[in-house]
Amino acid sequence: MTKKLKKQTDLSSLSPKASAENRLEKPMKLNAVDNQKSGEKKSKFTLADGTAVNSESMERFETAFKQTTGTNDADFATAILVHVSRGLPDSTFEERFTCMASLLPTVRPQDETEALLAGQFLVLQASAMECLRQGHFQDGFYHTERYINLATKLFNAATQTMQALTKYRAKGQQTVQVIHVHNEGQAIVAQNVSSGGGVGT
């Protein structure tokens, strides 16, 4: 009786490798740590799981920065996060920074301009929701209506910002419809042609 040997197949080469650009890294947090000597608080970056910045975790931080702000430059990424987080309604700077660092990766900005537009959208959206919340606690219809109207304007501005982001991501691509007429208009064939630079003829 002969035993058949099962050949083990190595499938590692078939599975896609997780690159730094494709792997979704956990968002960053800005923690305030007490300085034992001076008694002041010093802010430091950590990932959501508490991993601090060091030589071993630097690749993860670069990935998190890239997915959050669209840039690998840590200084520029920090400046973007500080800038766009100022408009959030959270009470402390650490809360605003951490909230924006958590929300921006969901939009997946590809560069710095997209990060700024996405941050503007998130701030307007958050402000509109805060106005709606405040409107529920007002005495009198007049004050409630003021908050609701302000929230509506903020939502409209947020929608316009998202449209601007979508237009920027399209990089000016235009769709031109080409219509071919055959046999004196009896047969019409239409196709869409995408143009990146301008309108073609």
pLDDT one-digit tens code per residue, 48-84: 888 888 888 888 888 888 889 999 888 889 899 999 9
Is 15 part of a structural domain of the chain?
A: no
Is 11 part of a structural domain of the chain?
A: no
Is 17 part of a structural domain of the chain?
A: no
Mean pLDDT, residues 155-180 taken together: 82
Please tell me whether residues 178 and 154 are part of one structural domain. Answer: no
Please tell me whether residues 185 and 108 are part of one structural domain. Answer: no
Task: Give the residue numbers spanning the domain of 62.
Answer: 28-169
Please tell me whether residues 109 and 131 are part of one structural domain. Answer: yes
Domain total in the chain? 2
Please tell me whether residues 120 and 90 are part of one structural domain. Answer: yes
Please tell me whether residues 63 and 43 are part of one structural domain. Answer: yes
Please tell me whether residues 95 and 181 are part of one structural domain. Answer: no
Please tell me whether residues 97 and 145 are part of one structural domain. Answer: yes
Please tell me whether residues 94 and 190 are part of one structural domain. Answer: no
Give pLDDT, residue 178: 61
Is 178 part of a structural domain of the chain?
A: yes
> 89 and 130 in contact (C-beta within 8 Å)?
yes
Residue 23 has pLDDT above 80, yes or no: no
Please tell me whether residues 196 and 178 are part of one structural domain. Answer: yes
Is 56 part of a structural domain of the chain?
A: yes
Please tell me whether residues 115 and 101 are part of one structural domain. Answer: yes
Cα 81 to chain centroid, rounded: 11
**Greater pLDDT, 154 or 197:** 154
SS3 content of the chain, % helix, strand, coil (to 5): 45, 15, 40
Going by C-beta distance under 8 Å and a sequence separation of 6 or more, which residues neighbour residue 176?
192, 193, 194, 195, 199, 200
Going by C-beta distance under 8 Å and a sequence separation of 6 or more, which residues neighbour residue 107?
114, 118, 121, 122, 165
DSSP track, 128-170: HHHHHHHHTT-SSHHHHHHHHHHHHHHHHHHHHHHHHHHHHHT
> 174 and 195 in contact (C-beta within 8 Å)?
yes
Give pLDDT, residue 12: 40
Is 58 part of a structural domain of the chain?
A: yes
Please tell me whether residues 163 and 181 are part of one structural domain. Answer: no
Please tell me whether residues 196 and 142 are part of one structural domain. Answer: no
Is 10 part of a structural domain of the chain?
A: no
Is 19 part of a structural domain of the chain?
A: no
Residue 17 has pLDDT above 50, yes or no: no
pLDDT one-digit tens code per residue, 99-124: 999 899 988 899 999 999 999 999 99
Q: How far apart are CA 146 and CA 148, in angstroms?
A: 6
> What does DSSP assign to residue 52?
B
> Mean pLDDT across the chain, nearest whole number?
78
